[in-house]
Structure 1
Amino acid sequence: MNRRSLLHALAAASLPGFLPAAEHLPQNLTFIGQAKFDRIVTRALQEKWRTLPIGERITRAARAMAGTPYVGYTLEIHDHIESPSANFDGQDCWTFFEIALGLARMLALPQDRFTPADLLHQIELTRYRSGICNGSYLDRIHYLDEWFQDNQKRGHIRNITPTLGKTVPLEGRRIDEMTVLWKSYRYLKHNPDLRPGMARIEAELQTRPFRYLPKDQVRDIEPRLQSGDIIGIVTHKPHVYCSHVGLAVRTADGTCHFMHASQTHKRVLVDKALHAYLADFKSHAGIVVARPLD
């Protein structure tokens, strides 16, 4: 057992339900917006979100973050050291859905108070390959299709895409955005030695089959989606399979909407009905769907 595993085991023995996050950087870098976090947690405890199914907990957490400004590259917090992080003052599509999921998972724990470390631990469990961050940028899962595969393997989600309708394979597409656009990512820009490792990860991912639901089927399957389902937007654009991600959210009239951190609207919002949102963008090919599990 390595030192990290030993620390986790000791923490688990002393305080059931809690494990420390691997915080490789100070919290003034890794955790932004504690006041908003505290307000959400206070409300969640008062309203007993813990008793709700995970999809509803995710939806409540997501709606509590509505209006948060869109800020791109919010995962790129350092030039060299990787660490679990959360930002309540600015979010991109990935950090929005992942924080909502992390809050939902955290709030199910039998505790009467929660700290940033509690959320960062949940972030670590889903953001990093096998749920462990050792401080390396390559520990992080950078592509949504791998995030689905890794988190399904560990029982955090179930990829329900094949159960929804007739899926089609995505063929003739390279998955190499991180190495092609390395100048856009602080860690890859400042650490050239990471690029060959990233290229190997991408090459391995490309060997795995990828199937999705075309967008012309989405209107018909919307009744089968639940609030809190994670919706990956499959793209026609090169270098990547999924270009965007958000959540399914049902409104009072029962319509299934797409909630996301929108670069177009510059904020987190409940957008149009999912099929209507997809129709607005020629580059959107369809969707993949993950259902979070308690």
Structure 2
Amino acid sequence: MNRRTLLQLLAASVLPRVVRAGEHLPQNLTFVGQKKFERIVAQALKENWRALPIGERITRAALAMEGIPYVGYTLEIHDRIESPSVNFAGLDCWTFFEIALGIARMLKEKKGPYTPSDLLRQIEITRYRHGICNGGYLDRIHYLDEWFRDNQKRGHIQNITESLAQTVPLTDRRIDEMTVLWKSYRYLKANPDLRPGMARIEAELQTHPFRYIPKEAVRAIEPKLRSGDIIGIVTHKPHVYCSHVGLAVRTADGQCHFMHASYTHKKVLVDQTLSGYLADFKSHAGIVVARPVD
């Protein structure tokens, strides 16, 4: 392309738009809170988080997000186009653990400098089936049990649940939350044609056995948990296996606490011990645990 042709294209505004990997929407929609991101990155560089094991990197990133308000449905950012997204102004349980993991993975990927696109790429890798977002809502992994399987298959985590304690099967329910409660999801509400595809995904998920550690056994296995382990909260409620997710964080007293974006407390916080947290909710049945891998 010669200079004259380039100038003509610029004048006509027909130059092809540069699309970053997996980013199908502009960053003014997909990345909220760049100043917070920059503060976390600056702290990570100053304290050399990159040299830490992945569990410690996740924990540092998580603690740097402590106090951010809880905001539900932060993944529903458009009516039709799906794209990796990050929102430091408000987190739900899924985006909290996933952003902490994404920051930890980003820091290891290269020495810096770090940009929003670097974090969005890490979010794409773990949030979407096979690590690829093609702009479709059904590319996204919507259920934690599938997230565990897909990310373990690609070497990002190890599901260590059955190595920690005797587990029990969950066999008394269907996975159908998103097709039953489709009005709660912006994309499914705006696009009825997505619902049969979601129903097929849910039906496939039910073909996989699901085992968990009952909450009565969690206190005994807390010493085996590490900071940065991903804790899925298994529920007695219908339509879904896991209703909540957070991180194990070992505090200065040596105890294993549950850190999460809490609907009850309306913010990200280090809550009580994991077993204590489980005991406070009759609806909580137990846990599944994934350990991130570098």
The TM-score, its normalising length taken from structure 2, stands at 0.93
Displacement after TM superposition at 1:112 (Å): 2.6
Q: Deviations over 1:153-194 (max 9, x none)?
A: 000000000000000000121000000000000000000000
Q: 1:20·1:118 contact (CA, 8 Å) conserved in 2? A: no
**Equivalenced residues, count:** 276
Matched residue of 1:108: which SS? helix
Q: Which runs of 5+ in 2 are unaligned?
A: 1-18
Q: 1:231·1:246 contact (CA, 8 Å) conserved in 2? A: yes
Letter in 2 for 1:228: G
State the match for 2:238 in structure 1: 238
Matched residue of 1:228: which SS? coil
Q: 1:97·1:246 contact (CA, 8 Å) conserved in 2? A: yes
Letter in 2 for 1:139: D
Q: 1:50·1:109 contact (CA, 8 Å) conserved in 2? A: no
State the match for 1:26 in structure 2: 26
State the match for 1:115 in structure 2: 115
C-alpha separation between the residues in 2 aligned to 1:156 and 1:269?
25
C-alpha separation between the residues in 1 aligned to 2:168 and 2:81?
39
C-alpha separation between the residues in 2 aligned to 1:146 and 1:87?
23
C-alpha separation between the residues in 2 aligned to 1:43 and 1:26?
27
C-alpha separation between the residues in 1 aligned to 2:140 and 2:186?
14
State the match for 2:160 in structure 1: 160
Q: 1:21·1:84 contact (CA, 8 Å) conserved in 2? A: no
C-alpha separation between the residues in 1 aligned to 2:129 and 2:110?
26
State the match for 1:93 in structure 2: 93
C-alpha separation between the residues in 2 aligned to 1:57 and 1:111?
14
Letter in 2 for 1:270: V
State the match for 1:206 in structure 2: 206
Runs of 4+ in 1 over 6 A off after TM superposition: none
C-alpha separation between the residues in 2 aligned to 1:109 and 1:165?
33
Letter in 1 for 2:268: V
Displacement after TM superposition at 1:20 (Å): 4.5
Matched residue of 2:109: which SS? coil
State the match for 1:217 in structure 2: 217
Displacement after TM superposition at 1:22 (Å): 1.0
Moved more, 34-43 or 107-116: 107-116
Identity %: 80
Equivalent positions of 1:29-178 (< 5 A) are 29-178=29-178
Q: Deviations over 1:222-241 (max 9, x none)?
A: 00000000000000000000
Displacement after TM superposition at 1:109 (Å): 2.3
State the match for 1:12 in structure 2: none
Q: Deviations over 1:234-253 (max 9, x none)?
A: 00000000000000000001
C-alpha separation between the residues in 2 aligned to 1:104 and 1:184?
31
C-alpha separation between the residues in 2 aligned to 1:58 and 1:259?
11
Q: 1:21·1:118 contact (CA, 8 Å) conserved in 2? A: no
Q: 1:167·1:211 contact (CA, 8 Å) conserved in 2? A: yes
C-alpha separation between the residues in 1 aligned to 2:20 and 2:162?
36
Displacement after TM superposition at 1:81 (Å): 0.4
C-alpha separation between the residues in 2 aligned to 1:99 and 1:188?
24
Matched residue of 1:245: which SS? strand
Matched residue of 2:105: which SS? helix
C-alpha separation between the residues in 2 aligned to 1:120 and 1:60?
19
Matched residue of 1:231: which SS? strand
The TM-score, its normalising length taken from structure 1, stands at 0.93
C-alpha separation between the residues in 2 aligned to 1:69 and 1:253?
26
C-alpha separation between the residues in 2 aligned to 1:159 and 1:184?
30
C-alpha separation between the residues in 2 aligned to 1:263 and 1:201?
27
